[in-house]
């Protein structure tokens, strides 16, 4: 491999995650998100986990979360109804950091 622009999924593929299948650490209320005109989460998530689906609704997957907390701080209309760190041992496991 050599240096090239990489999409977020390819970058996240290099990281080690232990996904908590039983408990999502971030939960959205999509009805609130639908009312949000700015949707800053689309631009500020380093892992680009917030996307618009075909209907223009926010789709989100917590599995590739880097746990930075940017979305929580930028979410103005509180569509993020839950944001906690994953349960112990779960989530991102940086090998270098």
Partner 1 sequence: MSGEDKFDAIVVGAGPAGSAFAYTLARAGKEVLVIERGDIPGRKNVTGGRLYTYALDMLEEGLHQKAALERQVTHEQIMMLSGDRAVNIEFVNPAYNQEGSMPMSYTVLRAKFDKWLSGQAEKMGAVVVSGIKVDELIEQDGQIVGVVAGEDQLFADIVVAADGVNSFMAQKAGLIPDIKAATIGVGVKEIIELPAKTIEERFNLKAGEGAARMLLGCTEGIHGGGFLYTNKESISLGCVFTPEGAARKKKSIHEIFQDLKMHPAIYQLIEGGDTIEYSAHLVSEAGFRGIPKQLHREGFIMIGDAAGFVINTGYSIRGIDLAILSGIAAARAVIEAEKTADVGPMYIEELQKIKLMLTMKQTDKFYEVLETPWLYDKAPNLAADVFNHLFTVNGEVPLPLKTELMRLLKENDISIWELIKFSLKGVKV
- Is the Cα torsion angle 5, 64, 59, 68 positive or negative in sign? negative
> Smallest gap, in angstroms, from Cβ of residue 32 to partner 1?
17
Rule CB under 8 A: say whether 94 interacts with partner 1: yes
Rule CB under 8 A: say whether 40 interacts with partner 1: yes
Q: Which is nearer to partner 1, 32 or 83 (CB)?
A: 83
Rule CB under 8 A: say whether 38 interacts with partner 1: yes
Rule CB under 8 A: say whether 36 interacts with partner 1: no
Q: Is 4 exposed, middle or buried (0-12, 13-18, 19+ CB in 10 A)?
A: exposed
Which residues on adjacent β-strands are paired with residue 51? 59
């Amino acid at each position: 491999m050599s240096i090239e622009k990489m999409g977020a999924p390819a970058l996240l593929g290099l990281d080690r995650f232990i996904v908590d299948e039983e408990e999502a650490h971030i939960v959205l209320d999509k009805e609130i998100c639908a009312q949000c005109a700015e949707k800053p989460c689309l631009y500020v998530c380093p892992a680009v986990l917030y996307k618009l689906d075909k209907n223009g609704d926010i789709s989100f997957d917590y599995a590739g979360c880097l746990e930075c907390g940017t979305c929580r701080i930028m979410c103005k209309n509180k569509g993020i109804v839950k944001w906690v760190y994953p349960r112990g041992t779960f989530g991102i496991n940086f090998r270098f950091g």
